[in-house]
Amino acid sequence: MTNDLATAPLRTRAPGTRPRRAGIASLSALALGAFAVGTTEVVIAGLLPEVATDFGVSLPTAGLLVSGYAVGMVVGAPLLTVLGARLPRKHLLLWLVALFTAAGLLSALAPGYEVLLAGRVLSALAGGAYVGTAAVVAAGLVAPERRASAIATVFMGLSLANVLGVPGGTALGQALGWRAAFWGVTAIGAVLLAAIAALVPPIPRERGVGFRQELAVFRRGRVWLALAATAFGWAPYLTVLTYITPLLTEVTGFDDRTVPLMLVLIGIGMVVGTPLAGRLADRALLPTLYGALAGITVVSAFLILAVQSKPAAIVGFLLFGLVGAAVIPPSQTRVLEAARGADNLASAANVSAFNIGNAGGPLLAGAALSAGRGYTSSLWIAAALGATGLTLALATTALHRRTHRHRTSAATRR
C-alpha cells in the first residue's frame, strides 16, 4: 500500500536508510509538533486532582478533560482527509499549529472548568489533524525509498512525549500549579510555529484515489470490525493512565512525587514495545496483534493485584507501557490491510478509532468511580476492554477468511 509507511507509528528505521541531509531540520521541526501533541494529550492525567480541587469539581468530572481531548482527536483526524485535499500541506500545518498554540494559551488562562474543557477540545482538534498531516509532509521531504525513516523520525516525537514531555509536564504542574504545564505547551507551540515556517518547504499535493472511491471501501464489514478492535484494544491504555495518580497514591501508597517517575517508566516501556512490535508484525502480523491484545488484557488484570505492592506496581506499570505500545503497529497495519484501496481515509479512521478508545475507556472508569467503585475499577474495565479488542480482532480475521473462501468458490464455479 502506498501510504502504509505514512501511517505506521514509531516504526524502526530500515538498515542503511536515513533522511536526506536537507530534510533533517524539517523532520525535527515536525517531530517537535508530535512531541507537543503527545505531551498535551496525556499530561493532564497526572494533574487531575489539582484541577479538580482548583475548580471545585469531582475527580470523574475532571477526568472529562482527558476524554474531551480524545473526542477532539476523533474529529481532528478525519479533518486531515478533508482539509488536506484542499490546502497546501505547509499552509495547513501552520494553521493547525496556530490553533493548537491558541488552544494551549486558552487552557493556561482558563477562568473556569468549562473554558479549560473547551481549550482541550480545540487543542485536540488541531493535534489530531497535525499528526496525520505531518506524516504526509515528512514522506514528501525524502526519496520514496526513505519514507520509513522519515516517518519514524516524526513519530519519535510521540515516543519522547511519553518519556520526557508527560512526566516533565506533570512534575512542572505539581511544583508550580497545573497551569504551568499548559504554559509550557504554549511556549513549545510558538517555537513550533516559527520552526515550521522557516524549515519546512512547500510540498506539492499528491493525487490519489478520490474521496468517494475510498469511502466505498468502508462498505466492507471487516473494515469496521478492524476499527472496533483498534478502539477496544487501545482503550485500556488511557483508562489506566487517567486515574494513575489516585491508584498510586491512594491504593499503592506512593508519594505524589512518584507519579512522574512512574510515567517515565511507562514511557520507557513504550519506547521498547513499539519498535519491537513493529519488527514482529513485519514477520507475523496476526500473531503479533493477538499477542499484543492478549498482553494488555493480562497485564491490566495483573495490575489489580500488583497495585497493592510497591515493587509489583513498578514491574506492572513497566510491562503495561510495553504491551500498550505493542498494540499500535499491528492494529494500524491490520486496518490498512482490511481497507485496502482506501489508505488515506483508513489512516484517518484508525486515528479516530484510537481516540474513541481514549475517550470511551476513561468515561467508563469515571462512571464506575461515580457509582462508588474503588480506584481499581479502572483496571477491571481496562482488562475487559482489552479482551473485547482481542475478540474483535479474531472476528475480523474469521470474516476475512470466510469472504475469501466465498470469492474463491465463486471464481471456481465460473
Please determine, for residue 407, whether its predicted confidence score (pLDDT) is greater than 70: no
Give the residue-averaged pLDDT of 154-183: 83
Please determine, for residue 294, whether its predicted confidence score (pLDDT) is greater than 70: yes
Give the residue-averaged pLDDT of 184-209: 83
Give the residue-averaged pLDDT of 43-66: 86
Give the residue-averaged pLDDT of 330-347: 72
Mean pLDDT of the chain: 81
pTM of this structure: 0.72
Q: Where are the domains of the chain?
A: 1-207, 210-407
The CATH number given to 210-407 is 1.20.1250.20
Q: What per-residue confidence (pLDDT) applies to 260?
A: 81
Q: What per-residue confidence (pLDDT) applies to 16?
A: 40
Q: What per-residue confidence (pLDDT) applies to 28?
A: 86
Q: What per-residue confidence (pLDDT) applies to 362?
A: 87
**At 214, is the pLDDT very low, low, confident or very high (cuts 50, 70, 90)?**
low
User: 1-207 domain in CATH 1.10.3720.10?
Assistant: no
Which of 277, 393, 286 shows the shortest CA–CA distance to 327? 277
Q: What per-residue confidence (pLDDT) applies to 160?
A: 78
Q: What per-residue confidence (pLDDT) applies to 81?
A: 62
Q: What per-residue confidence (pLDDT) applies to 19?
A: 41
Percent of all residues in the chain with a pLDDT value above 90, rounded to a whole number: 31
Give the residue-averaged pLDDT of 395-411: 71
